[in-house]
Amino acid sequence: MKPKYRFFSNTKYALNGVFAMLKAEMSFRLECLFVCPLLFVAFLLEISLMERICLIGVLFLILIAECFNSAIESCVDLVTQEFHTKAKIAKDCASAGVFFAILTAVFTWGLVLINL
């Protein structure tokens, strides 16, 4: 039987995930060191609302990609600790997702800042 949806319980699970990421994932902490100050910068810039939304959105995209990357890596590690080509591909592809999220953020911020 599927458990009932409970907004506050599900929010608690999400926050537990954020705290787990902060505790266990150095890359997430490093990304937060860049994302948090840039969030404030996004609000200080004299830009349109749409540009501000894009700047903030791509910052959160990095954190979202990192969460998925960590989840995939944890699942792969749970299944096997031995080297396996397909496990490496899964981890590498998840890492590529983070890489592309960071490239998207750099490109977006660059375009917005160049047009100031």
- DSSP class per residue in 48-109: -HHHHHHHHHHHHHHHHHHHHHHHHHHHHHHH-SS--HHHHHHHHHHHHHHHHHHHHHHHHH
26-114: CATH class: mainly alpha
Read off the pLDDT of residues 10-35 as tens digits, 9 standing for 90 and up.
899 999 999 999 999 999 999 999 99
**Residue spans per domain, the chain:** 26-114
Read off the pLDDT of residues 52-77 as tens digits, 9 standing for 90 and up.
999 999 999 999 999 999 999 999 99
Q: What is the mean pLDDT of residues 42-52?
A: 97
Active-site residue identified among 31, 66, 73, 82: 66
User: What is the distance between the alpha carbons of residues 94 and 72, in angstroms, rounded to a whole number?
Assistant: 7
Contact between 65 and 25 (Cβ < 8 Å): no
73 is catalytic: no
Residues near 55 by beta carbon (within 8 Å), at least 6 away in sequence:
38, 42, 45, 47, 108, 109, 112
Task: Tell me the whole-structure pTM to 2 decimals.
Answer: 0.90
Which token pair is 99?
């890489």
